[in-house]
Homo-oligomer: A and B are copies of this chain.
Amino acid sequence: MADFTSGLRPADPQGPSLLAQERARSSIDVEQLAKHLLSRNDFLGRQKRILSILTRIPLFSKRNLLNIARPDRYQLGLARAKTLRRLSLKHGWDQEDYLMAEYLMDEMGPYALQSSMFATSIREQCSDEQKAYWLPKVENWEIIGCYGQTELGHGSNVKGIECQAKWDPQTKEFIIHSPTLTASKWWNGALGRTANHAIVVAQLLLPGPENDKYESYGPHQFIVQIRDMESNKPLDGIVIGDIGPKYGYPGMDNGYMLFNHFRVPHGALLSKYSGVDIEHGAYIKPNNPALVYGTMTFIRAQIIMHARLVLARAVTIAVRYLSIRRQFSDRDSKEACAPEEAVLNYPTVQIRILPLLATTFALHYTGESMYKLYWSTRRQIENTGDISRLAEMHAASSGLKSICTTLAADGIETCRRAMGGHGFGGGSGMVGLNNEYLSKPTVEGDNWMITQQTASYLIKRMAEVVSQPNFKPQDSIHEQFQEYILGTKDSRKNSNGLDVVGDPFALVAAFKQRVSYLAHQMYQARVIETEPWTSLMIPLHRLSCAHAESLLVSNFYEAAFTRISPPSPDQATVDILQTLFRLFALFTLRASASEFLVSRTITVDTVAHVTPAIQKLMTQVRPHAVRLVDAWSIPDYLLESDLGSYDGDVYNRVFQRAHQENPLNMLTFNSDWRSEEIIMGEGEENASKRMQALALGVAGRVRSPSLSSKL
């Protein structure tokens, strides 16, 4: 629209010049730091290569996403997923390339399960014969798959699922059946409208010795064709649908599915580890399932690495925008018309953003450390068969998944709120980010539930320490536990507790000391006093959080102080990383200060110095904030944020999105309450019908609303 606004520009100072000044204030070598952070699997090179392909495809534009109806949004998701598949063939992408494309498109589309859960199940749970049959079809995308585990009535408690697979010895088939409504599969991605095949998790029921009463052998995986390959309609005996709108994932068709005595052949049961004897209907017992924990650790390491990039995205937007945004002048200024301050200069804004900036690095080094642990444990198992480290690895990954996804989910919203009004707008890039990520604290193990596994492990280890032959009750239990479990024995504590403010290593020791104290308390309560598990759940959760925080702090310390991993940045940058370490650790300590006090790790006098120390560290980080987020190398296409773009041209972008691209502004409305007309000129009767249809949707029409009757 050409009008007088085309001659206007934002009030000075301009965003781009402000960001240039910010970048000039710091000597951090962004490229070097980016390489240090993002060299694994050639992340940076891959990002650049895939990005240049994606941004040339108009269908992949993100500009209109918040304007369209949910049914249309799924269709766009499907169209994009198809295009992505074709691109991957054209350019010969490997799996990592494909994942990079999904990350940059920032969309969980209807094919997202194909090469993840669907293919993985077939690869890892099928017998060789099954694999030979199914894997080529999956890898060539001849069939489109999904993974059907969770149900309307059961999520976390997989053992409780109700869907049944009953062996019929007569016909040598399994009868898959949903005996109740709550047995309906629920939430399964790609199931709702897309997939023609599914991995279905069902209770395996086999007849007893006399072929009479059926017994359950627990949940097992079956591969089932669910839709006709021509019409894409559900097969007879199966009811399927999309579960409807939800928080985030608008382009994905999360589905429901019920079976009415639906028969599948003997070969449908994925039978690498267990099976049913086709002749006698006897159960074939599975091998040691411990290796499953290994895979879970790998997935959780990926979740942590993803969490760091998601949080980095929010922090990038916040740091850039808040360096540009000005509001109020200094209260103590003597000038009559003092210039307004950059919002990021206010300590009340810094305290919300800069510890989160430090957190992105904390997550990074722990994610790296989890990968290393996974690969070394895997090698150990493959070479020696020794699975002794699996439990430690699983405990760490559970506690870390819980805390890292909570940190990222809460962190996004903290950044959004710190951005005031514009943090609210659709052009902030925060609305979709928030909505999409909010599933993470729930999926892959609920964050308040999986911590029990970590706590349970720590109690067992504490019991081992106490029952050691060389255990000396006269010594400090905590020191012995630390030495035995946590790999350090360091007690620099004097009568004033640890000097967490002055000595970086004291922070590491403080976090370990707290774990040890809480672990011993829980050992005492559960093992000695045999208190009911349920009654201990709150302190058990705290114990797990303490352990996970201790790992975050230790790994960060190691990376910044003792063993900076190559390609390493220059010393000036390492100094900043050390400052970020102290900021992260002190901020985390402050949030649970009373636990450090109760465990006599620090004193009340020390606590009083923590907040001033945090504030001082923040002033040291502040000049480097923009360069530090630059190092995370989040491209503008991924940010999709008027506030956080690399160039800092905030207000022109915000205005253009509203003034040039908002479909609502193409229409003029009749705002007179006495008229039922809505769009000027459409007439009262048309408007009434249209509005009624919008309000009632399917409920009002019975038959399909025309999805194309938009505007």
Contact = CB atoms under 8 A, between A and B. Distances in A.
A463 interface: no
Interface string A145-169: 0000010111111001010000000
Contacts of A666: 698, 703-705
Contact of A232 (B179, B233, B330, B680): B680
B695 A60 contact: yes
A421 B442 contact: yes
Given A243-B658, A244-B66, A535 B347 contact: yes
A466 interface: no
A615 B538 CA distance: 9
B63 A699 contact: yes
A62 B332 CA distance: 51
Interface stretch (A94-102, A193-201, A308-316, A570-578): A193-201
B331 A11 contact: no
Interface in A61-96: 61, 63-64, 66-72, 74-76, 78-82, 85-86
A189 interface: no
Interface residues of A, number: 179
A678 interface: yes
Contact of A155 (B351, B421, B593, B668): B421
A662 B697 CA distance: 8
Interface stretch (A34-42, A278-286, A478-486, A685-693): A685-693
Interface stretch (A253-261, A265-273, A292-300, A506-514): A253-261
Contacts of A659: 239, 241, 256
A232 B679 CA distance: 11
A183 interface: yes
A29 B416 CA distance: 42
Contacts of A80: 695
A476 interface: no
A384 to B, nearest CB: 33
B696 A64 contact: yes
A231 B72 CA distance: 32
A314 to B, nearest CB: 14
A153 B10 contact: yes
A691 B423 contact: no
A608 B594 CA distance: 9
A180 to B, nearest CB: 4
A694 interface: yes
A375 interface: no
Contacts of A184: 5, 655
Sorted nearest first, the 3 A-B pairs with minimum C-beta distance are A64-B697, A666-B704, A593-B594
